[in-house]
Structures are given as structure tokens and as C-alpha cells.
Amino acid sequence: MPVGMEKLYGLQPEFRNKVEKVISEMENRGWSIRIVWGLRTEEENLRLVRKGVASPTSKHLQGKAVDLIDRQTGYTENRDHKFYRDLSELARKHGLIWGGNFRTRWDPCHLEAP
């Protein structure tokens, strides 16, 4: 079972549907998913912006973004990690944008609605 399912509350329903599919397919591939972030308040987002790890116009503010990690792997800088390859593949399959393709700030745990 994924950890942090309560972080899916408040997500835009169509986006949430797709995210749930990605999560269940990732778990079927053997990953243990933790949902790190879903919807963010302005205050939560601002705190992350000040640390340099979020955009002031983040889609997390609209409930149209999530951050997922594998509980064993955590956050890794290894761009070729299988977790990121699987996540990007399933994001594409379900019509979501994968943050590993962002040019301004590589964000491989992040998925968002188009």
C-alpha cells in the first residue's frame, strides 16, 4: 500500500484519477510509493520557494501536481535510475507531464496535469 494517500485529497479529480493509476502501476512494478506532496497552501509553497525547491506558480497550488518517491530509494540524483524511467514512462502513458523533463529545475519526482 502506498504511504501518504491522504496527500491525494484536494487534487483536481481527473488528475487524481490518473495519478492513482500511475501509483498502482508503479506498485505493480515493485516500487513502494510515498506521496510526498499533493495540494499545497500558499504558505507551504512559499516556504519551498524560499528554499529554492518550488516555483511560485507551482501547479501544486491548484491541486494539479504530486511528488512521488520510492520508499527504499528516496530522492536520488541518479538521472538514469529505473524508478525515474518507470515514472516517466507511466506519466507519458496517462497523459501527465513529468518534472524530469523540466529545463529550469530538474524535478524527477514531480508529475503534473498538462
Applying CB under 5 A, the residues found at the interface with Zn ion are 65, 67, 110
Least distance (Å) between residue 73 CB and Zn ion: 17
* Cα torsion through 35, 58, 78, 51, rounded to 10: -100
Nearer to Zn ion, 31 or 98 (CB): 98
Nearer to Zn ion, 67 or 70 (CB): 67
Nearer to Zn ion, 32 or 55 (CB): 55
Residue 20: which of 40, 2, 39 has the closest Cα? 2
∠ Cα 59 82 6 (to 5°):
40
Q: Which residue is nearest to Zn ion (CB)?
A: 110
